[in-house]
Structure 1
Amino acid sequence: MTELSGWGRYPRHATRLLHPATPRAVQGLMAQQAGLIARGNGRAYGDAAIGAAATLGTGALDRIRAFDRETGRIRAEAGLLLCDLLALAVPLGLFPPVVPGTMAVTLGGMAAADVHGKNHHRDGGFGDHVEALTLALPGGGTLVCGPNENAAVFRATIGGMGLTGTILDLTFRLRPIATGWIRQNTVATADLDATLAALAAAGTAPYCVAWIDTLARGAGLGRGLVFAGEHAALADLAAGLPTAPRFPAARPAWLAVPCDLPSGTLNRLSVAAFNALYFRAGARQAGAPVLVPWDRYFFPLDAIGGWNRIYGRRGFLQYQFVVPGPGAGALVGAVIERVSHHGAASFLSVLKQLGPGHGALSFPMEGLTLTLDLPAAGPVFALLDELDRLVVAAGGRLYLAKDARQAPATFAAGYPGLPGFQALRRDIGAPGRIASRLSERLAI
C-alpha cells in the first residue's frame, strides 16, 4: 500500500498504486479491480485522485497519437503533461485554448476537472474545446464520445472527476499565437468595489484575473490588483522588447522549498507583510502595458518548486467557490470580511469572472469565483463550514478539484445535476467499481 495525498497534502490515504504502461493494460485493470480511480500528476488539491481501494496512475500514457501543425488539431494520450505539450506547441506558434494555474497537470486531468483559466468568461472551460475522447469503461471496454457522439457520457465525463471511467486519449485544437509574450495591463484598486469594477472592465480582454488582499481591513477591505492580458502581436514585441526571443522557453523554477517549513510559517503577520510588498510592486506596474513571458503570466507559482511545503507537514486547504447573479459581489465581500476578521492567512487569493458551464459536475457557472488557500488547522475548518453556508444560500458551489472537506449536503445543494450523474453511473456499471475517496465522502 502507498500513502497518497493531493497537492494540498490533506487528507492522506493508503491505496494500492497501479502503473499500467498501455491503454490495453488500463482496460484490463478496469475489468479486474474494484474501487479504482485514475490519477494524473496528482495536482487535484484534495482526495479526488485517491482510489477507494486502488489508484491507477496514467503517467505512462503520454504519447501524441496525431498532430496537424496547420490546423492545431492534436490527439494525445491522457497522461501527457501540459508542460510537455507547451514545450512542443509554443515554439510552433500554438497555444492550448484553456490552461489552469499550473502546467504540471495531465491532459486527462484537465478534462476530468474541466479546468478553467483566466479566459473562461470568453472561451469557456477546457471541456468546451474537447472534440472527442476515448474512455475506458468500468467493465474494461472502451467508448469514443464527444459533443455529438455518446453525448450523455461525454457531458458526465467532462468535470466528472474520473467517476465515469479512465480517459485514455482526447482530441482538441491548439490556437495560433504570434509570439510567446503576453501584453499585460495592471490596475491597482483601493477596495473591493474598485476591484469588482476593474475586473468587469477587464472582461473585454481575452484573459483577466484579480489578486485580492484578504487580510486588508476597514476602508481597504478587498483591495487588489487586476491583471488583464492578451497574446502580444509581433508589433508589440518589436516596440517593447526588440531583442527578445519571439517564443521564449519556459523558465525552470528559480526557487525550491526543499523541506516542510515549520507549521505557522505562513501566519497573519508574514502573509500581511507579503501582501503589502506584492501590492506595492503591482501598483508600480499599473498604467502602461508591459510584456510578460507566457509562463510567468499563466503559471507564476510554477517558479517555486514544491511550494505546497510552505504550509508544513499538515498541509493546506484550497477553497474555491463560485456564486452567480447580481449578488455575487456582495457575497464575495462577505467571505473576504469573515476571512479577514478570522485572521486566516491566505497566501493565494484569486478572483475571476466565469461564464456558463457545461457538464453534470462541471464547476463553472456564470458569476464570480474566489480561491483561497488556508492551513489545514482546526479553527479553519469551522470558518470554512460557515463560508459553505453563505455559498449555498447564494446559489453557489465548491470546486471538486480543490475540495478536501465539504459535506455531502453542501455538495448536493450546489450540483443539481447530481441525480442524473448518479443515474448514468448506474447505467454504465460504475458504482463500486469506480470510486475515489472524494466520491465516497460525498456519496456520489
Structure 2
Amino acid sequence: MEGWGRYPRHESQAIDCWLPEALAGTVTSRTGLIGRGNGRSYGDAAIGEYSTLMCRGLSRIRRFDPSSATLTVEAGVMLSDILRSFVPRGYFPPVVPGTKFVTVGGMIASDVHGKNHHRDGGFGDHVIEFKLVVASGEVLTCSRTHNPELFFATVGGMGMTGIVEEATFRLRPIESGWIAQKTIVAENLGEALKALQQTEDATYSVAWIDTLSQGASLGRSLIFVGEHATLDQLAGMPRADRFAAKDAGVVSLPFDLPQWLLNKTSVAAFNELYFRAGARKAAKTSLVHWDKYFFPLDGILEWNRLYGRRGFLQHQCVVPAEDALPVLSGILDRFARSGKGSFLAVLKKLGGGNGLLSFPSPGYTLALDLPVTQEVFGLLDEIDELVVRAGGRLYLAKDARQSRQTFEAGYTRLAAFKELRKVTGADRHFNSRLAKRLGI
C-alpha cells in the first residue's frame, strides 16, 4: 500500500468492510489495524501496521434535516458525493480541503482545514457527533458533551482512537454554486502575508507562491479571496445556471511522467505564465465555479503521476504569525537556492485547532510538493529545524518522513493523547505505519 504521495510503500493486509455491524468483530480480532478512506493522506497515515480496514463501503447518506441543515452520513461517504447531492439544493460543506475525493471519516481523522480556517476553523469544529467503534468493540457516541475526551482525541487523531462509523455535521446554506473571486498580486512574501492579514474578514483566502523567485521578489504570490456569490451578483445569469454543473471535461494521466520533466526550467516557465495570467485578473471580481475554486487539481485525475514512479513528498508546516516572515522566507530561500522549486506551493492563514493532535494553530501554513530524491530529504530536514525553532509543526495527513523529535517538539498535547490510547486499549489495536514511525 501507499498514500497519495506514493511514498513510502508498505505491505498491509486489506480488509473490506461494507456494513457497520461488521466493524466490532474486525476491531476486536486485530492488532496493528487502521481505518482507510479513499487513501488521500499523502504518506503512511492510512497504512495499518499489519491490517488496513477499507472503509469506502460505508457509503450511505443516512439523514438530512433541512430545518437545521444537519447531515448524517456513514464514514465512507465521499465529499464529492455530498457536493454532487447538496450543492444543487443550496447547501455547501462547512469546510473542504484541497480535494473532494476524501471520505468524511478521513476528514474527521485529519481534522481537515480549508481556505476558511482563519474564520470558521477546521472540519472538526462543525461536527456535532459521531459514532466510534473503540478497541473493545463497543460503539460509543462522541460529542462535546458525551465522551468528550474521545471526541477531541479522534478529531485530528489520524484514526488512532478507533473507527468512525458515522458522523453528523451541519451544512452551510448558499444562494448559488459560484464563488465571487478577487485576485490580489503580491510582489514578495511580506506583501502576501500582509494581504492575507488584511483580508481575514473574507470567508475564503489562499495564496499561490512562486517558489523559484528570489531576491526582492522572494515569495511573490497571487492571493485568491472568495465569497459564495449571492443572487444579486448573478444578475443576468439564467436561473438554471445558479447551480451549474461542472464541465464534464476531466483529463487523466494514464502513465507516470519521467521525473526529469519537472525541473527548474519547466517549473520556472509554468510559474511565470501562471503569475502573469493571475495578475491580469487582479483588477476585477470574477465569478468562478465552486469546483474550480476549491479543487483545481481534481480536474487532473491521478495527478500524483506528475512526479514519476518514485513519488513525491509534501511538506506542510504551520508557524506562529509573529515569526512567519523570517521563517517562511528562510524556507523559500532554501528552496529557491536549491533549484528544487515546488510545482505546487500554497500559503494560508490559520486559526487554532481543538483536537489533541489537530494540525492547525494560529499563524500561517505553507505547503510544498517535491519529487522524492535523496537530496530532498536533507533539504527538508533543514527546513524542519527552522519550523521547530519557531514553535511550529508539520501536518500528519501530509507527512511521510519527519523524525520523531520533530513531531514531539510540535505536538505539545501528545502525552495526553498517548495516555487516552492506553486507557482505552487503542494502543493495542489501532496502529498505522505513521504511528509506529513516530512512536505514538
Q: By the TM > 0.5 criterion, same fold?
A: yes
Q: Tell me: CA distance 1:71–1:396, structure 2 relative to 1, closer, same or farther (3 Å).
A: same
Amino acid at match of 1:15: S
Provide, for residues 99-144 of structure 1, a one-character-per-residue CA deviation record: whole Å limited to 9, x for no partner. Answer: 0000000000000000000000000000000000000111211111
Corresponding residue for residue 245 of structure 1? 241
Corresponding residue for residue 291 of structure 1? 287
Corresponding residue for residue 84 of structure 2? 87
DSSP-derived class of the 2:322 partner: coil
Amino acid at match of 1:169: E
Corresponding residue for residue 442 of structure 1? 438
Q: RMSD of the alignment, in Å? A: 1.0
Which one of the candidate residues 192, 195, 199 is aligned to 2:196? 199
Rounded to whole Å, the distance in 2 between the matches of 1:146 and 1:177 is: 26
How many angstroms does 1:336 deviate by? 0.6
How many angstroms does 1:21 deviate by? 1.2
How many angstroms does 1:253 deviate by? 5.2
How many angstroms does 1:70 deviate by? 2.9
Corresponding residue for residue 402 of structure 2? 406
Q: How does 1:20-419 map to 2 (within 5 A)?
A: 20-239=17-236, 241-242=237-238, 245-252=241-248, 254-419=250-415
Rounded to whole Å, the distance in 2 between the matches of 1:81 and 1:373 is: 24
- Name which of structure 1's ranges 394-403 and 146-155 shifts more when overlaid on structure 2: 146-155
Provide, for residues 235-291 of structure 1, a one-character-per-residue CA deviation record: whole Å limited to 9, x for no partner. Answer: 10115x457700022344522111000112111111111000000010011021000
Rounded to whole Å, the distance in 2 between the matches of 1:264 and 1:49 is: 29
DSSP-derived class of the 1:431 partner: helix
1:94–1:177 contact (8 Å) kept in structure 2: yes
Rounded to whole Å, the distance in 1 between the matches of 2:11 and 2:292 is: 35
Rounded to whole Å, the distance in 2 between the matches of 1:252 and 1:399 is: 33
How many angstroms does 1:27 deviate by? 1.2
DSSP-derived class of the 1:148 partner: coil
How many angstroms does 1:328 deviate by? 1.5
1:251–1:295 contact (8 Å) kept in structure 2: no
Amino acid at match of 2:155: I
Corresponding residue for residue 4 of structure 2? 7
Amino acid at match of 1:80: V
DSSP-derived class of the 2:233 partner: helix
1:311–1:375 contact (8 Å) kept in structure 2: yes
Gaps of 5+ in 2: none
Provide, for residues 6-58 of structure 1, a one-character-per-residue CA deviation record: whole Å limited to 9, x for no partner. Answer: 00000011110000111111111001111100000000000000000000010
- Name which of structure 1's ranges 361-370 and 137-146 shifts more when overlaid on structure 2: 137-146
The TM-score, its normalising length taken from structure 2, stands at: 0.98
DSSP-derived class of the 1:104 partner: coil
Provide, for residues 349-408 of structure 1, a one-character-per-residue CA deviation record: whole Å limited to 9, x for no partner. Answer: 000000011111000000000000001110000000000000000000000000000000
1:329–1:368 contact (8 Å) kept in structure 2: no
Amino acid at match of 2:306: I
Gaps of 5+ in 1: none
Rounded to whole Å, the distance in 2 between the matches of 1:390 and 1:110 is: 28
**Identity rate of aligned residues, in percent?**
55
How many angstroms does 1:330 deviate by? 1.7
- Name which of structure 1's ranges 224-233 and 19-28 shifts more when overlaid on structure 2: 19-28
Rounded to whole Å, the distance in 2 between the matches of 1:315 and 1:111 is: 26
- Name which of structure 1's ranges 262-271 and 97-106 shifts more when overlaid on structure 2: 262-271
Rounded to whole Å, the distance in 1 between the matches of 2:426 and 2:414 is: 15
How many angstroms does 1:306 deviate by? 0.8
Q: Tell me: CA distance 1:253–1:378, structure 2 relative to 1, closer, same or farther (3 Å).
A: farther
The TM-score, its normalising length taken from structure 1, stands at: 0.98
Amino acid at match of 2:372: A
Amino acid at match of 2:50: A
1:344–1:374 contact (8 Å) kept in structure 2: yes
Amino acid at match of 1:150: N
How many angstroms does 1:345 deviate by? 2.6
Rounded to whole Å, the distance in 2 between the matches of 1:267 and 1:140 is: 50
Provide, for residues 160-190 of structure 1, a one-character-per-residue CA deviation record: whole Å limited to 9, x for no partner. Answer: 0000000000000101000000000001111
Amino acid at match of 1:104: F
DSSP-derived class of the 2:12 partner: strand
2:416 matches 1:420: yes
Q: Tell me: CA distance 1:258–1:431, structure 2 relative to 1, closer, same or farther (3 Å).
A: same
Provide, for residues 33-88 of structure 1, a one-character-per-residue CA deviation record: whole Å limited to 9, x for no partner. Answer: 11100000000000000000000010110111111123210110000000001011
1:35–1:435 contact (8 Å) kept in structure 2: yes
Rounded to whole Å, the distance in 1 between the matches of 2:191 and 2:422 is: 48
